[in-house]
A = this chain, B = another copy of it.
Amino acid sequence: MTDRVLVSPAELFGDGVFETVHLRPDGPWLLDQHLARLSRSAARLGFTASTDEAAARVAALPPVITESALRIIQTRESLHVTVSPIPDSVRRERRSGIRVLSAAVGPRPPWSLSAAKTLSYGPNFAARRWAQAQGGDDCLWVSLDGYALEAPTASLVWLAGEELCSVPPEEAGILAGTTAAELLSRAGSAGLRPVFRMITLDELARADAIWFASALRGLAEVISLDGVARARSPWSPRLSALLGY
A interface with B by C-beta (< 8 Å): 1-16, 18, 45-46, 71, 73, 75, 80, 82, 103-113, 118-123, 125-127, 129-130, 139, 144
Q: Chain B contacts of A12 at CB under 8 A?
A: 5, 7, 11-12, 14, 16, 18, 73, 75, 80, 119
**Closest residue on chain B to residue A130 by CB atoms:** B111
Copies in the complex: 2
Compute how far the CA of A1 lies from the CA of B104 in the bound complex, rounded to whole angstroms. Answer: 38
Compute how far the CA of A113 lies from the CA of B127 in the bound complex, rounded to whole angstroms. Answer: 10
Known contacts A13-B119, A14-B119, A119-B13; A127 and B109 CB within 8 A of each other:
yes
Inter-subunit contact A105/B113 (CB<8 Å): no
Other contacts beyond A4-B8, A103-B111, A118-B122: 4, CB < 8 A: A1-B8, A12-B16, A45-B126, A106-B108
Chain B CB count within 10 A is highest, among A12, A110, A129, for: A12
A105: contacting residue among B15, B82, B109, CB under 8 A = B109
Q: Chain B contacts of A1 at CB under 8 A?
A: 8-10
Q: Chain B contacts of A73 at CB under 8 A?
A: 9, 12
Chain B CB count within 10 A is highest, among A110, A127, A130, A139, for: A110
Closest 5 CB pairs of A and B: A106-B106, A14-B14, A120-B122, A120-B120, A111-B130
Compute how far the CA of A162 lies from the CA of B129 in the bound complex, rounded to whole angstroms. Answer: 45
**Closest residue on chain B to residue A103 by CB atoms:** B109
A15: contacting residue among B9, B103, B106, B122, CB under 8 A = B122
| Min C-beta distance of A112 to chain B, whole Å | 7
Known contacts A12-B7, A16-B12, A118-B122; A103 and B110 CB within 8 A of each other:
yes
Compute how far the CA of A71 lies from the CA of B11 in the bound complex, rounded to whole angstroms. Answer: 13
Q: Chain B contacts of A16 at CB under 8 A?
A: 12, 122
**Closest residue on chain B to residue A16 by CB atoms:** B12
